Amino acid sequence: MTNKTTLLTGGSRSGKSAHALKLSEKYTKKFFLATAEPLDDEMQERIKRHQAERGKDWTTLEEPLNVTETLKKESSHYEVLVLDCVTLWLSNLIINGANRESILTKLHRFIDECKKASGHIIVITNELGSGIIPMDPSVRAFRDVAGEANQVLASKFDEVINMVSGIPVVIKSTSPTSEDKLKTTDSEHEFSPQKKQGLYEAVYKRRDIRHFNSKKVDPTALGRVLDAAHHAGSVGYMQPWNFMVIDDPQIKNKVAQNFKKANEQASLKFSNERQDLYNSLKLEGIEDAAINICVTSDRNRFGPNVLGRDTAIDTDLFSTCCAVQNLWLAARAEGLAVGWVSILSYDQLKEDLDIPDHVQPVAYLCVGHTEAFYPKPMLETKGWGKRLSVEKLIYYNKWQGTSTDFKVHFPDSTKND
């Protein structure tokens, strides 16, 4: 792995440890080096709480003094190593008789080992110089050496992030995505920062919603959403989609019964705890949502010969899925919730909706208002699955190929979940 060093700084309880865990989510081999000692009941309870938050996929070692030696020994075995924290390490050194000069010598040795490590080194420290000047000389001395240590670390590390009330503020970055290097790859056609933010906001805050309230849908807003869906890309410009807007309670009830029967059959595919979890999930909002939309693909549109379809017959279905995604993102921008119901008998659905034989239902969507959008995907919150690491899904030039000259740089994924 490529070496990377990140310094997380900030005030007490500013979210440093939590952000370190978020930065580490994409790794599988993780090591946590703790400098705190359980010297009292409160500290012991805090350590236990942090251990529980990290979970079982972390290897944890408590080492109050010999952090450099531990780093040197352990870093090659892990993809990421988190040190929490420098401030307590310095305090431990002072308690054991170290002076300023010896502390800075140890710090430089520590930094050298951090730069030699093969993985991502994340170091947590504290900003102690923002408050009232201490009256006690020894406390002032500790504050000064801690501040000096932070300056040295910040000057040597690749990335420095200041945590402010749980929000990460990047102070320093040597990433190729920094402003200076972006100047060589900027496009004159890119959106303004505000418009880009709006687009990414819709992408990252889109959710598959199952819980709806009784508020009606504005027909004008729905018109904008469907127009956005109609502007999706389609192979050969075939535009194979139709949008069936359903507000009839009787028809929605038929579809709900279709779901109920199909869901009972689907549940049998799982067993034991997985089946119990499946049965506890709310997987539709058909009768709760103000509107249902069935998105279909006309497989005969523009005849048998459509540009781009000869060698890939299902491109009409793929194109319709693009329309579904446009619809979903536009709905999120309008504050409308969307839930895709896929657990259905499509033969029964075609019969209930009088859909012709040559037309294929692609998506049955519940659309309406919700009291709250889920902060994370519902299936992740309920423990059904986790988001995969995008870095592990990228190959170069061939299947499972690794990067050569060009390598994709990703944003901090923790900001987008």
pLDDT at 405: 82
- Residue 182's pLDDT band, with cuts at 50, 70 and 90, is very low
- Alpha-carbon gap, residue 321 to 232, rounded angstroms: 9
CA distances from 197 to 200, 205, 333 (A): 5, 12, 12
Say whether pLDDT at 51 is over 80: no
CB hemisphere CA count around 238 (13 angstroms): 28
Mean pLDDT of the chain: 90
Model pLDDT for residues 372-399, shown as the tens digit of each residue: 999 999 999 999 999 999 999 999 999 9
How far apart, in Å, are the Cα atoms of 152 and each of 7, 147, 159, 160, 409? Answer: 11, 9, 13, 12, 27
What integer pLDDT is reported at residue 55 of this predicted model?
73
According to the model, what pLDDT value does residue 321 have? 98
Least confident of 30-39, 82-91, 181-190: 181-190
Q: Is the pLDDT of residue 177 over 60?
A: no
> Is pLDDT at 417 greater than 80 in this prediction?
no
| Beta-sheet pairing, 241-246 with 167-172 | unpaired
> How much is the pLDDT for 406?
87
Show the domains of the chain with their CATH numbers.
4-175 (3.40.50.300), 201-385 (3.40.109.10)
* Tens digits of residue pLDDT in 61-73: 889 999 999 999 9
Q: What three-state secondary structure class fits 80?
A: strand
The Cα 243–Cα 227 span in angstroms is 11
- The confidence band for 269, taking pLDDT boundaries of 50, 70 and 90, is very high
Task: Give the pLDDT confidence score for residue 131 in this predicted structure.
Answer: 62
Return the DSSP state at 208: B
Residues 105-114: what's their mean pLDDT? 94
pLDDT score at 178: 45
Sign, CA torsion 216/221/227/232: negative
Mean pLDDT of 44-70: 81
| pLDDT given at position 187 | 80
pLDDT value for 26: 87
Q: Which of 68-82, 173-187, 296-310, 319-333 has the lowest mean pLDDT?
A: 173-187
Q: What is the mean pLDDT of residues 329-346?
A: 97
Cβ atoms within 10 A of the Cβ of 400, count? 6
- CA separation, residue 343 to residues 113, 282, 302, 339, 340 (Å): 54, 12, 30, 12, 9
Strands 120-124 and 4-10: parallel
Mean pLDDT for 296-313 is 91
